[in-house]
A and B are shown apart, each in its own frame.
Chain A
């Protein structure tokens, strides 16, 4: 079972971004790292020039590196950005299918969790087109994961840790919360390095917003589902970056996979590090995604 660090979903300043990936390279016991901007093309100029250096350091540390596309490509500038990714010399993680228009036939790529791979037909089509690895959408139940992993010639990865990417929009909710429009956002999403909590009027933890993205309010922690994932033949777990304690989270998942600790110990130790007040792992069990199997 491999560990993949997914693309950072949040907006951090360049220094924090550099420091984060330097630490992942030097200290995190992970196999793959996906760099790049997933959520908002307006953020990219703030750290774009540091990507090659981070990639180099990660590769030197023995990690495989990929670069993500945006989750939602609409503007001409974003289409050009997507086309340019192909020339970076890194594996491209496709999170918006328009990238396939730029990837030459035969070129390998990986498929991210924001591409709708729900069934064998889609999976086979993508593998035939060159998909060398597929991270499945987080909402899939274990029965689907089993069927897909069995049908896949490429390694299949699932969500392991972090606030879940639930939706993407044309509208920026961060800007809206500040009574601004997206074009005049003044980068307010930077104020919330792990997303901004959105609770119900009764104070229940609910969702979190991150620019044009909506995330789960609670932190997905799929460690209790590891035995099922293993039985299904899942090849990797995806850990999603957070601003604090991420290297420690990676270490805990490595310990879990190697059998040094169990899911209960991981969950207890990682609790203070989790963004949001609670855990969830409902999706693979076929329940509401927000459900937590460790709840007493």
Chain B
């Protein structure tokens, strides 16, 4: 059966995900070592230990994301995070940085290493490189590949693959994007944040609500229409004679219908984005996907999607999995 990997930004969300049928939960420490470094989110050392004990007692695994790129001169913070994840009993750590992978392979050889999507390993040569050099056992694939390409990759590698199936959708190769720091000074790679709320502000101008990031207008909507969060790459911009969503619509990923094809492509694990989401959201999405995964396993059709209202802007895309997205 394909493994369902579910997000937890808090111990409560972790409990909810496990109870809703998650095979594994991923989470991070409450600092800049993980790529969802939002205020009020993530785990203390004690919370992680307790949560892992709970998950293990329920038959679920816990994967710890330490997937930002360590700051020069401050690597010890990241090294400590890897050591603490092992001490807490984590089933694996999810890493992106070469230096950190080398450190973990040398100092924590028995701790399973997964390659974060932030490493953007998009072809078999790169994946085999990470497997050979650092003993990576699973790679989370970047969201730039079609299902046919994923199948081809799986034929040429010996490690497991994990793919995103639901939630926020990066349109750029992850871990290789500085759009957020260009506009706000804070980036996913360095700070674990993208389009951070600290730089968002809304202004009513000429009867419209402008959503701005770092002083740049990302959206303009009629004052009483729902205003999407101003995520930089999902804004409405103009270029010469064109005005529109130049990079991507305010949409999110839903690959529910593609689960049978992903299984056939040899994918080991399915990942749900959303560590910043509430526990009720997590519970609902996990329950729905667990039913879908069980159906695929039993050879039954995937139950019709019930998640539409949970997607960003209530619209969903299959993203790069379909070639026409490009």
Contacts and interface: CB of A to CB of B under 8 A. Distances in A.
Contact of B145 (A74, A101, A121): A74
B216 A204 contact: yes
Interface string B70-104: 11111100000000000000000000111110110
Contacts of B243: 201
A244 interface: no
B51 interface: no
A143 B72 contact: yes
A118 interface: yes
Interface in A25-57: none
Nearest to A74: B122
A250 interface: no
Contacts, number: 217
B186 to A, nearest CB: 9
A202 to B, nearest CB: 5
A164 B326 contact: no
A235 to B, nearest CB: 17
Contact of B324 (A98, A120, A151, A181): A181
Interface string A169-202: 1111101110001110000000000001111111
Contacts of B216: 200, 204, 206
A68 interface: no
Contacts of A96: 126
Interface residues of B, number: 67
Contact of A72 (B71, B73, B173, B247): B173
A121 B98 contact: yes
Interface stretch (A4-12, A261-269, A283-291): A283-291
Interface in B142-178: 143-145, 149, 152, 171-173, 175-178
B182 A288 contact: yes
Interface string A252-296: 000000000000000000000000000000110011111100000
A209 B179 CA distance: 12
B179 A207 contact: yes
Interface stretch (A15-23, A123-131, A222-230): A123-131
B10 interface: no
Contact of B181 (A78, A197, A289): A289
Contact of A166 (B72, B122, B178, B236): B178
B42 to A, nearest CB: 21
A47 B102 CA distance: 39
B261 to A, nearest CB: 18
B172 A214 contact: yes
A125 B102 CA distance: 8
B307 interface: no
A139 B97 CA distance: 16
Nearest to A99: B125
Given A73-B126, A183-B323, A206-B237, A144 B73 contact: yes
Contacts of B120: 72
Interface centre among B103, B210, B240, B246 (most CB of A within 10 A): B246
Interface of B: 69-75, 96-100, 102-103, 120-126, 128-129, 143-145, 149, 152, 171-173, 175-179, 181-185, 187, 189-190, 210, 214, 216-218, 220, 233, 235-240, 242-243, 246-248, 320, 323-326
Given A121-B99, A137-B178, A143-B73, 14 more contacts: A101-B129, A114-B176, A119-B75, A144-B71, A171-B325, A196-B239, A198-B237, A201-B220, A201-B237, A206-B216, A287-B185, A288-B181, A288-B214, A290-B182
